């Protein structure tokens, strides 16, 4: 007996219904990106390993899927090298290419390679899969989609403002209530500076980023463990627990960070973003959150994260400002800011809250029943007319029993069935059945079109 087929761990098949839901997500994100002047690019699934290696740290390098060279990949390798069983060294000889780990590094490579064709500031978006050789677990996959938008070649904070408007517009269209959290790397650097632990910025922010998960006592214990003094921890308490409106938090920070030039710059940037957004009438809440850290080695200015309010789930969108995106490829001084929507988590949120509109999930709007050659020929004429005006329609290909054809319509959640028998043909009409209510009515092709277009 043939072995049962399987797929690699951490990957998934998607059914027609799941694909309809995913495309609904991608289409809304794509439409909003277009609304704000972003243009789509795509980069290859595989990149040269020299492009990818060393960009994500040692852990990231271990999670890269490497692609074995074609042909005789043993040529040029000595017996001594083979017998050494040094996996890392051998992989570098066997493999020149790898699957992309994210969309940011390939984008940096794209900007450098196409700099003479690009008009700056360059507003690009990408909706493509990425791959990571991670340990699969609930909500974490080895193959998943990223929906990135970035503006490069501009330092203006209006870019940050527009990205937050994009976030607000996308989630408003989905019907998901969210809280958009913002912070600034410069504020965090200023805090580390005024408590006298500037060199421990990473340790401090990694700890306070866990406040929601582990609580204040454990955060303080972790800070102490990292060698931060009791005096510095004491100074940090009022900052970690800072509450009130965004304006009140900014006022407090201006006093606390008065002696820190970098900290005050971060406050100034945050104030501009928040004050400008206040005039835009966002539908969702926006909050200055000093415990937000987001990969501090990477970001240099404003940072963002989006939390769903009605579902317990991690961040569903994130991003921020970074400097020198292209420096690793020899083109320095290109600043940028970007966001990435977590399509897989948004999929889960929409499922839990049952927010998918019916028309997004149901593909076919009307099924024409097939009673035989003459009836099918008559139905095809009407079928062509309804498709011309954009109604999604199909005919059952075989003259099967009525029960089988109706079961097919039910299984596919088709809302209407058009029945054409001898009586209907004589009147030049069809019997249209509403599958939800069971109501039937004899209608002309024009009437059928009008009903379905409603």
pLDDT of 309-360, one tens digit each? 999 988 899 999 988 878 888 898 899 999 999 999 999 999 999 999 987 8
Query: CA dist 441 to 163, 311, 390, 430, Å?
Result: 50, 43, 22, 8
Cis peptide bond upstream of 121, omega within 30: yes
The band of 61, judged by pLDDT with boundaries at 50, 70 and 90, is confident
Annotated binding residue 298: yes
More confident of the two residues 448 and 238: 448
Cis peptide bond upstream of 371, omega within 30: no
Q: Identify the burial level of 151 via C-beta atoms within 10 angstroms of its C-beta, where 0-12 means exposed, 13-18 middle and 19 or more buried.
A: buried
Burial call 23-53: b when 16+ CB within 10 Å, e when fewer: ebbeebbbebbeeeebeebebeebbebebbb
Annotated binding residue 101: no
DSSP state, residue 5: P
Question: Could you tell me which residues are beta bridge partners of residue 394?
Answer: 367
Annotated binding residue 33: no
Chain mean position to CA 295:
17
Take residue 448 and report the two structure tokens written for it.
Answer: 């059928």
Give per-residue pLDDT as tens, 139-163.
Answer: 788 999 999 999 999 999 999 999 9
Domains of the chain: 177-309 (3.30.930.10), 362-453 (3.40.50.800)
Burial call 11-20: b when 16+ CB within 10 Å, e when fewer: eeeeeeeeeb
3-class state of residue 273 by DSSP: helix
Annotated binding residue 61: no
More confident of the two residues 123 and 208: 123
**Chain position carrying tokens 């509109």:** 357
Rounded Cα distance between 74 and 82, Å, is 9
Lowest mean pLDDT among 63-67, 75-79, 444-448: 75-79
Give the β-pairing of 393-395 and 416-419. Answer: unpaired
Chain mean position to CA 315:
11
Q: What is the mean pLDDT of residues 5-16?
A: 93
Closest to 349 in 3D by CA, of 170, 177, 163? 177
DSSP state, residue 338: E
Query: CA dist 267 to 191, 246, 270, 302, 372, Å?
Result: 11, 11, 5, 10, 74
The band of 95, judged by pLDDT with boundaries at 50, 70 and 90, is confident
Annotated binding residue 299: yes
Q: Are residues 267 and 187 in contact, defined by beta-carbon separation less than 8 angstroms?
A: yes
Q: Are residues 374 and 425 in contact, defined by beta-carbon separation less than 8 angstroms?
A: yes
Residues 6+ apart with CB under 8 A from 37: 123
Annotated binding residue 150: yes
pTM beyond 0.75: yes
Annotated binding residue 116: no
For residue 148, the tally of other CB atoms under 10 A from its CB is 21
Q: Are residues 286 and 164 in contact, defined by beta-carbon separation less than 8 angstroms?
A: yes
């Amino acid at each position: 007996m043939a072995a049962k087929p399987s797929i690699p761990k951490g990957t998934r098949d998607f059914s027609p219904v799941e694909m309809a839901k995913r495309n609904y997500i991608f289409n809304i994100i794509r439409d909003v990106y277009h609304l704000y002047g972003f243009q789509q690019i795509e980069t290859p699934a595989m990149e040269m390993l020299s492009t990818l290696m060393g960009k994500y740290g040692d852990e990231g390098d271990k999670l890269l899927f490497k692609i074995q060279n074609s042909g005789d990949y043993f040529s040029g390798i000595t017996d001594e090298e083979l017998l050494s069983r040094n996996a890392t060294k051998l992989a570098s000889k066997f493999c020149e290419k790898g699957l992309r780990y994210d969309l940011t590094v390939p984008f940096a490579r794209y900007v450098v390679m196409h700099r003479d064709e690009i008009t700056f500031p360059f507003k690009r978006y990408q909706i493509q899969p990425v791959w990571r050789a991670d340990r699969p677990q609930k909500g974490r996959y080895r193959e998943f989609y990223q929906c990135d938008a970035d503006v490069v070649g501009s330092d203006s904070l209006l870019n940050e403002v527009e990205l937050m408007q994009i976030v607000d517009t996308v989630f408003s269209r989905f019907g998901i209530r969210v809280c958009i959290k913002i912070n600034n790397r410069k504020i965090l650097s200023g805090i580390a500076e005024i408590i006298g632990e500037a060199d421990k910025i990473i340790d401090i922010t990694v700890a306070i980023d866990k406040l929601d998960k582990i609580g204040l006592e454990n955060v303080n214990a972790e800070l102490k463990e990292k060698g931060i003094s009791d005096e510095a921890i004491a100074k940090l308490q009022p900052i970690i627990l800072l509450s009130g409106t965004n304006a009140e938090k900014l006022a407090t920070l201006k006093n606390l960070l008065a002696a820190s030039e970098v900290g005050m710059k971060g406050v100034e940037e945050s104030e501009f973003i928040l004050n400008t957004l206040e005039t835009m009438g966002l539908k969702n809440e926006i909050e200055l959150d000093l415990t937000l850290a987001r990969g501090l080695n990477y970001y240099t200015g404003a940072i963002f994260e989006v939390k769903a309010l009605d579902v317990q789930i991690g961040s569903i969108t994130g991003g921020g400002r970074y400097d020198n995106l292209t420096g690793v490829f020899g083109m320095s001084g290109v600043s940028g800011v970007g966001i990435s929507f977590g399509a897989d988590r948004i999929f889960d949120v929409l499922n839990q809250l049952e927010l998918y509109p019916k028309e997004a999930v149901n593909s076919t709007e009307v099924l024409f029943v097939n009673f035989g050659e003459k009836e099918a020929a008559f139905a095809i004429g009407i079928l062509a007319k309804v498709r011309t005006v954009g109604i999604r329609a199909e005919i059952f290909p075989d003259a099967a029993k009525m029960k089988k054809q109706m079961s097919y319509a039910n299984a596919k959640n088709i809302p209407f069935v058009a029945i054409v028998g001898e009586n209907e043909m004589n009147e030049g009409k069809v019997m249209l059945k509403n599958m939800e209510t069971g109501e039937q009515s004899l209608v002309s092709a024009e009437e059928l079109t009008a009903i379905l277009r409603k």
